[in-house]
Chains A and B, each alone.
Chain A
């Protein structure tokens, strides 16, 4: 029993050790830049200037955009999957959503790079930026690898998390509520919209936050699709950079002491944000649908 408990405690221990080791590795950068690191937008390895702002910005923008796109589809899918009707179609879509989660990130990356990005540029980004380029968000020149490309693929990647957990949450709504609503003469949609979704709201919010956490940390597909430029620009069709992708791209080339330490500090920021976001989300989902729902 002592042995098995020690083994089970490995999971919480690992979380703590990861944070501590990253904090240790980031020390040179933390000492050099202090809190300034978080708000500085300078990223110039040659001049030894490092700041996290463009990466925090890129990470937040892509994650929020991805969430905005995935949320209606994810909740719609969850409502559909939680229904008892059409078992055959429901089964197929359920398997499909699970497989979507199983596809490796790097496969989304290569598909996005060679199939989706060129299509998006030809049929959406370029026509829109040429016509409405005066709006800053839609300004050109449009590129294949851009904030928009990365966000859409990211939306696909977080969809399974959203759909699967929302489904558990919707299922956890007491069936009496639904039956009462039907008995009062409400239609299917009125029952979903006015009874079930409000009852499931805290859990769906939790699923959303959890998906947001996944989006923040997604690395490889985003690295291949976002354009990798450390700048803050407002256009959807321009390049950006995220915390995870700058680490993936530059860490093996980082020389000296300050450069790798700055990258590790970016990793530490990412780790801490993901930790807090995940904790909030998990506690929310559990309070609604129990501990099994987040499995």
Chain B
């Protein structure tokens, strides 16, 4: 074989391997989706699953209503805390940030994204559970808020940076104060991207287990009071999956399917919203 043919052969083989690697990355995704849907659907076909709470093993009609409400309350509270703060922080990075300081804050936000979620759980335990000697949904929501904050900051920043400078200059030329330009011109123009980031953070928080283990803790009963310990869908998956009872395991799969559906819908919707943001930025 001539040298050139050898090179072409090597090229062909390498190409095949690289393409195979890329396809291989999709295998676990399809397997996880397939099995979660197959194992989770039976639980979701019972109305009891959505409207009842835990019952002793063997008694039919158990459900996860308490966990659905717990997730909604804790993620909701966490959103109220982290999204406004994160948006302000993200806008600040672009509109006011001195380059050096902004770069450090960005670095800190990225470090916070990479912080082990279990460490955040321990941190909130030391901050809000140990002093009061009482687990609470509120502590759980603070842990989730710490997790969401850097995601919202970075997403807001990305969306705001896409807004063309001409819009800011037009506002300033009309004599608007800088904060009004940021708040009333730039932020609305960046809204789809900011909302996308916030929704992704919500989806991420809804799926987190580790920060809730010693904060929200879990609760077998229905409660909407964040001063009480609270259950959540990921906690149900974690605890029930490790039991030997088929009915509980089925419930765990059902809760896992709900979590997957939530993250899939939010992620696919966010792609659509982000495309609109980029199109919008092009028109301005």
Interface residues of A (CB under 8 A from B): 1, 3-5, 7-12, 14-15, 17-18, 21-22, 24-25, 72-77, 79-81, 92-93, 95-100, 102-111, 113-116, 156, 159, 163, 187-190, 192-193, 210, 213-214, 216-220, 224, 244, 247-248, 251-252, 263-264, 267, 270-271, 274-275, 278-279, 282-283, 291-292, 294-295
Contact across chains for B96 and A4 when beta carbons are under 8 A apart: yes
B10 interface contact, C-beta 8 A: yes
Q: Which residues of A contact B11 (CB under 8 A)?
A: 187-190
Task: Give a binary string over B200-244; 1 marks a CB under 8 Å from any A CB, 0 the rest.
Answer: 000110111110011001000000000000000010011001100
Which of B15, B23, B122, B263 is in CB contact (< 8 Å) with A267?
A: B122
Which of A81, A114, A187, A247 is in CB contact (< 8 Å) with B249?
A: A114
Instruction: Determine the residue in chain A with the shortest Cβ distance to B150.
Output: A11
Contact across chains for A244 and B17 when beta carbons are under 8 A apart: no
Contact across chains for A156 and B28 when beta carbons are under 8 A apart: yes
B245 interface contact, C-beta 8 A: no
Q: Which residues of A contact B204 (CB under 8 A)?
A: 102
Q: Which residues of B contact A25 (CB under 8 A)?
A: 122, 126, 130
Q: Which residues of B contact A116 (CB under 8 A)?
A: 31
- Shortest CB-to-CB span from A26 to chain B, Å, is 10
- Shortest CB-to-CB span from A3 to chain B, Å, is 8
B136 interface contact, C-beta 8 A: no
Contact across chains for B110 and A103 when beta carbons are under 8 A apart: no
Knowing A248-B118, A278-B110, say if A8 contacts B25 (CB, 8 Å).
no
Instruction: Determine the residue in chain A with the shortest Cβ distance to B262.
Output: A104
Chain A contact residues: helix, strand, loop or mixed: helix
Roughly how many angstroms separate A22 CA and B158 CA in the complex, as a whole number? 32
Contact across chains for A11 and B15 when beta carbons are under 8 A apart: no
Contact across chains for B271 and A95 when beta carbons are under 8 A apart: yes
Which of A95, A106, A188, A282 is in CB contact (< 8 Å) with B207?
A: A106
Knowing A8-B92, A104-B209, A267-B122, say if A193 contacts B14 (CB, 8 Å).
yes
Stretch with Cβ within 8 A of A (4 or more), from B42-50, B166-174, B253-261: B253-261
**7 shortest interchain CB distances as A-B pairs:** A217-B116, A76-B21, A104-B207, A12-B108, A4-B92, A189-B14, A80-B22
Most buried by A among B108, B130, B213: B108
Knowing A11-B149, A104-B208, A270-B119, say if A99 contacts B267 (CB, 8 Å).
yes
- The total of interchain contacts (Cβ-Cβ below 8 angstroms) comes to 266
B57 interface contact, C-beta 8 A: no
Contact across chains for B118 and A244 when beta carbons are under 8 A apart: yes
Task: Give a binary string over B1-38; 1 marks a CB under 8 Å from any A CB, 0 the rest.
Answer: 00000011011001101111111111011011001100
Contact across chains for B263 and A213 when beta carbons are under 8 A apart: no
Number of interface residues of B (CB under 8 A): 93
Q: Which residues of A contact B158 (CB under 8 A)?
A: 292, 295
Knowing A8-B97, A79-B18, A187-B10, say if A114 contacts B39 (CB, 8 Å).
yes
- Shortest CB-to-CB span from A257 to chain B, Å, is 12
Contact across chains for A291 and B117 when beta carbons are under 8 A apart: no
Q: Which residues of B contact A99 (CB under 8 A)?
A: 29, 263-264, 267
Knowing A77-B21, A100-B25, A219-B210, say if A15 contacts B111 (CB, 8 Å).
yes
Q: Which residues of B contact A110 (CB under 8 A)?
A: 36, 237, 241, 252-253, 256
Roughly how many angstroms separate A5 CA and B182 CA in the complex, as a whole number? 14
Contact across chains for A107 and B110 when beta carbons are under 8 A apart: no
Stretch with Cβ within 8 A of A (4 or more), from B62-70, B83-91, B276-284: B83-91
B103 interface contact, C-beta 8 A: yes
- Shortest CB-to-CB span from A66 to chain B, Å, is 13
B105 interface contact, C-beta 8 A: yes
